[in-house]
Amino acid sequence: MKAHVKMLAILLTLGILAIPFATASAQLAPQAPAAVKGLPKTQPVVDNPLIQAFNVVPAVVVQGDPVSANWHVTRGPGGSPITSAVLTVDGATIAGSSAEMYSGPPRPFAWVGEKTFVLTVRNAAGKTTSQSKTVRGISLAEALSKVNIVNMEANPQRFSVGQPIDFRVMISNNNPGLVLKPVNVFVTQGSRVVGNKTNFNLGPGNQMITLQDSGFNAAGGMYYTVDVEFKGQHKMRNFVTKPVTMYTIDPTGH
C-alpha cells in the first residue's frame, strides 16, 4: 500500500512539472522565414538617336533667296545605327540622308512668312528623334521699304569747282535679322557717276559708306543723288548743292 502511495506522489509531481513546459511550448508561435529583399530592376537602355546639331540658315531671308540645311546626328546609348534623316516642310520631303553628317546645297526659300523645317532621324531599332527650325521670308517690297538713306556728308563741308570731295553716306537697314546681299550704291551728279560701291552686304543697323568725287563740277547739276539698288529695285535721295559766300583776308593790307 505504501508503495502505491509513493508511486502516485511521483506521478503527480511529474505531471505538475510537465504542465508549465506544455504551456510554454503552446505559446511559442512558429516564426515565418525572413523575407528576401528584391534585387533592383535594370533600367532599359534608351536607344533613341541623338541630334547633335541642326541648322537652317539664314533664319530670315528675302523671298526667293537661298537657305541651307546641315545636321550632325549620332547613335543613341543603345548603339543602333542611323538608318535615315529626313528634312520636311509642310510634310513634303526636301532633303534626306542616311549619313550622320549632312550639309545640303542652297535651296530657294519660296514663301513669305514663317515656315518650319522638321528633321526626323530614325535608327535600326525603329526609334525616332525630331527637331525643328523656323525660317521667315520677307517680300522684296517689304525689305526695301525698311532701307533708308539717312544722310550724306561732304568733307570738306565747303568746296570749290574742281576740288575733290569725300562723301560719307549713311544707309540704314531696319529689317531685324535680315542681311541684304548683294547691294549696290551709286552717287551721281546729273548724268555723271561720282562714285560707287558694289556687291556688298547690308546688315541690320546703320552702315557708313565712303565715296569720292574726284572734282566738283558746278555745272553738273544742283543735286548729288544717292541711289541704293537691290535686286533691280532702287531707293534714291537727292542732296542739294548750294553756293555759300566765302570770305578771305587780303594779305597786302592797305
- Predicted confidence pLDDT, tens digits, the chain (254 residues): 444 445 544 444 444 444 444 444 445 555 655 555 665 676 777 899 999 999 999 999 999 999 999 999 999 999 999 999 999 999 999 999 999 999 999 999 999 999 999 999 999 999 999 999 999 999 999 999 999 999 999 999 888 889 999 999 999 999 999 999 999 999 999 889 999 999 999 999 999 999 999 999 888 778 899 999 999 999 999 999 888 776 667 676 66
pLDDT 10s digits, 123-135: 999 999 999 999 9
Residue 201 CB neighbour total at 10 angstroms: 11
The reported pTM is 0.74
pLDDT tens-digit profile of 52-72? 999 999 999 999 999 999 999
Residue 97 near residue 70 (C-beta atoms within 8 A): no
Domain ranges within the chain, ordered by starting residue: 50-138, 146-240
Identical fold between 50-138 and 146-240? yes
Q: Region of 69 please: left (phi>0), alpha (psi -120 to 50) or beta.
A: beta
Strand (E) or helix (H) holding 13: helix 2-27
Phi first, then psi, for residue 2 (nearest 5°) are -65, -35
To which CATH superfamily is domain 50-138 assigned? Immunoglobulins (2.60.40.10)
**CATH homologous superfamily, domain 146-240:** Immunoglobulins (2.60.40.10)
Closest of 49, 51, 52, 101 to residue 79, by C-alpha: 49
pLDDT, position 139: 98
Pure H helices in 81-217:
140-145
Which three cell numbers mark 10? 511521483
